[in-house]
Structure 1
Amino acid sequence: MQNRLTIKDIARLSGVGKSTVSRVLNNEGSVSPQTRERVEAVIRSHGFTPSKSARAMRGQSDKVVAIIVSRLDSPSENQAVRTMLPLLYQQGFDPIVLESQFETRLVQEHLQVLQQRNIDGVILFGFTGLTAAMLAPWQEKMVVIARDYPGISSVCYDDDGAVKLLMQRLRQLGHSHISYLGVQESDATTGMRRHQAYLATCRKLKIPPIAALGELNYQSGFQLAASVIEPHTSALVCASDTIALGAMKYLQQHSLTAIQVCAIGNTPLLNFLFPEIFSVELGYGTAGQQAAQQLLGQLSGELGIRQIIIPSRLA
């Protein structure tokens, strides 16, 4: 019973409301000595001690920030979260991490619970399907990473610039037949923006575009590689490191390793397995740091709503 006792249980056993129990736990006034003693007696008899995180989730802390990631196993998002945490801790905030799994419904549920529990602010990793209307109630205390919405602070990656950096570098190296493996344009950033940047750069450099769009995984890179490799193809731009991993496996299996592959992301795994690949670093760690600083600034009243773009760089 000790580990499962809740404020609701204490209220029932004490014969009072949950709000009264909360006031006793917070040592607030407006509770009669007799009622306070009755509630405290139940708490003592059951050995109830709310943990710091439990107190925060019940709204008893005024310094709690939620971080809603898309996937807990995302290397890029983990890089961003690692740079956020020290800044939040330094300012006395308790961060809690939730997962959306790219589901709009889960984000809505998380935000509803966080609002009920008086969370101070939210850093949200955005994805296709979220809307400005859904996020509007958090306007003053939210920062979105990787997507921008009117009226909401955001920290976005330079998707256009990343593709252009790779294309320009390949052209400098003498490549004139450059293919592209990307993501369906239903995805606004990794999909549409990067593909459109490839097409625009092809027009500018007078290179015939050869592209295939699939999913954001290495299986898609492996399966689609054949469709963009032609006799004159000398280079391949991949919209992400994950896609590049699949493409490299295909090229190795078919003895096409002379084709220069490049990608966006600059993850340590890709560099370790295929050091011959060059890539663009989007600045995941910098994005996390900027997002935390922006949210802290908004919560303190020192910063207004801003849209921040993290510049890309060739690794």
Structure 2
Amino acid sequence: MQNRLTIKDIARLSGVGKSTVSRVLNNEGSVSPQTRERVEAVIRQQGFTPSKSARAMRGQSDKVVGIIVSRLDSPSENQAVRTMLPLLYQQGYDPIVMESQFETRLVEEHLHVLQQRNVDGVILFGFTGLTAAMLSPWQEKMVVLAREYDGFSSVCYDDDGAVRLLMERLQQQGHRHISYLGVQLADATTGLRRHQAYLDACRQQRITPSVALGELSYQSGFQLAAEVIGPQTTALVCASDTIALGAIKYLQQQHIAPLQVCGIGNTPLLNFLFPETFSVELGYGSAGLQAAQQLLGQLSGEQGIRQIIVPSKLA
């Protein structure tokens, strides 16, 4: 029964017109919340998914991939998406880009919409709070970026290696008083992994750690810099280039003698404004390309589930 239902049937059961059902399926905004809820309830009850021929008749591609980014204004995620798109287009897939804003509720809503639209696969930018159980219906046709989940393909950055590269470079330059500005440990990668890598490097180099943890923002870097910069401090490792920008602003405002500041991300803005800093390239573009390649391989049956780590390098 499920496969024989048409949009006309859903319209009749919902008490609305076919055009309204079509707008709900396409997630268009010109439908009242009450009507949308009524139509979606019928769709769920009937287990309805639009056929590929129906999608083609509506002028949509027969092959669609969802891309769920955490922030549309994230430079790193934009770099990754830019490398995905040409490959997806080349293989005949139309991408649908959605934003989670680091909210699990929005991810669930987006995945529900993508399921209704019968998309072929999903590339998801992961974040703390998402679980494998939440994503389980997509296991065979999803690739997660920046987070690992058991049983899912993932493309992750080498957070530990990035911090090790910075600490080794600073040691070679003769620095013995290296402070760290990071992110709260609830964040598993930018927070916990990079912080732990700094502590491990301090132990190996036999230097005393000095740490302040806050948010992933330049405001946090500006506000927390005073907690870790003392008379003996000669270098500052920041968990991201964004934090580094805030810390440098603090140093300038307080007229503190220049320190060797370094970050992670290789943001062009940091290098342009403060060429004396150095940063680690995490490989955002490479990660996006590899995520698209992995998903296409899974959808074609040529590639199994696997975990990929993108190596870091000093810029």
**Structure 1 length as normaliser, TM-score?**
0.83
State the Cα distance separating 1:253 from its structure 2 match.
1.2
Query: What SS class does the counterpart of residue 261 from structure 2 fall into?
Result: strand
CA–CA distance in 2 between the matches of 1:239 and 1:201? 14
CA–CA distance in 1 between the matches of 2:198 and 2:96? 38
CA–CA distance in 1 between the matches of 2:60 and 2:75? 33
State the Cα distance separating 1:224 from its structure 2 match.
0.2
| Partners of 1:181 and 1:224 within 8 A in 2 | yes
**Equivalence for 2:134:** 134
CA–CA distance in 2 between the matches of 1:10 and 1:151? 35
CA–CA distance in 1 between the matches of 2:248 and 2:79? 24
**Equivalence for 1:282:** 282
Q: C-alpha root-mean-square deviation of aligned residues, in Å?
A: 2.5
Query: What SS class does the counterpart of residue 96 from structure 1 fall into?
Result: strand
CA–CA distance in 2 between the matches of 1:8 and 1:17? 8
State the Cα distance separating 1:61 from its structure 2 match.
4.1
Instruction: From the superposition, tell whether residues 250 and 304 of structure 1 become closer, same or farther in structure 2 (CA, over 3 Å).
Output: same
**Equivalence for 1:105:** 105
Instruction: From the superposition, tell whether residues 142 and 56 of structure 1 become closer, same or farther in structure 2 (CA, over 3 Å).
Output: farther
**Equivalence for 2:241:** 241
Alignment of 1:212-251 (within 5 A): 212-251=212-251
CA–CA distance in 1 between the matches of 2:81 and 2:56? 20
| Partners of 2:177 and 2:235 within 8 A in 1 | yes
Cα-to-partner distance string for 1:193-225 (whole Å, 9 max, x where unaligned): 000000011001101000000000000000000
State the Cα distance separating 1:9 from its structure 2 match.
11
Query: What SS class does the counterpart of residue 185 from structure 1 fall into?
Result: coil
| Partners of 2:55 and 2:62 within 8 A in 1 | no
Instruction: From the superposition, tell whether residues 105 and 179 of structure 1 become closer, same or farther in structure 2 (CA, over 3 Å).
Output: same
Query: What SS class does the counterpart of residue 162 from structure 1 fall into?
Result: helix
Say yes or no: does 1:156 pair with 2:191.
no
Query: What SS class does the counterpart of residue 67 from structure 2 fall into?
Result: strand
Q: Pick which of 206-215 and 54-63 moved more.
A: 54-63
Instruction: From the superposition, tell whether residues 244 and 57 of structure 1 become closer, same or farther in structure 2 (CA, over 3 Å).
Output: farther
Task: Pick the structure with greater CA Rg.
Answer: 1
Alignment of 1:1-80 (within 5 A): 55=55, 61-80=61-80
| Partners of 1:156 and 1:309 within 8 A in 2 | yes
Cα-to-partner distance string for 1:140-170 (whole Å, 9 max, x where unaligned): 1000000000000000000000000000000
CA–CA distance in 2 between the matches of 1:313 and 1:66? 30
CA–CA distance in 2 between the matches of 1:10 and 1:66? 24
State the Cα distance separating 1:11 from its structure 2 match.
5.5
Q: 2:158 corresponds to which letter in structure 1?
A: D
Q: Pick which of 135-144 and 255-264 moved more.
A: 255-264
**Equivalence for 1:210:** 210
CA–CA distance in 1 between the matches of 2:280 and 2:207? 21
Q: 1:263 corresponds to which letter in structure 2?
A: G
Instruction: From the superposition, tell whether residues 78 and 56 of structure 1 become closer, same or farther in structure 2 (CA, over 3 Å).
Output: farther
Sequence identity percentage? 83
CA–CA distance in 1 between the matches of 2:134 and 2:58? 23
Alignment of 1:302-313 (within 5 A): 302-313=302-313
Structure 1: gaps spanning 5 or more residues: 1-6, 23-53
**Equivalence for 1:258:** 258
CA–CA distance in 2 between the matches of 1:177 and 1:16? 69
Q: 2:194 corresponds to which letter in structure 1?
A: R
CA–CA distance in 1 between the matches of 2:201 and 2:300? 42
| Partners of 1:240 and 1:263 within 8 A in 2 | yes
**Equivalence for 2:291:** 291
| Partners of 2:61 and 2:93 within 8 A in 1 | no
CA–CA distance in 2 between the matches of 1:204 and 1:154? 30
Instruction: From the superposition, tell whether residues 59 and 136 of structure 1 become closer, same or farther in structure 2 (CA, over 3 Å).
Output: farther
State the Cα distance separating 1:117 from its structure 2 match.
1.4
Alignment of 1:168-187 (within 5 A): 168-187=168-187
| Partners of 1:88 and 1:94 within 8 A in 2 | yes
CA–CA distance in 2 between the matches of 1:145 and 1:163? 20
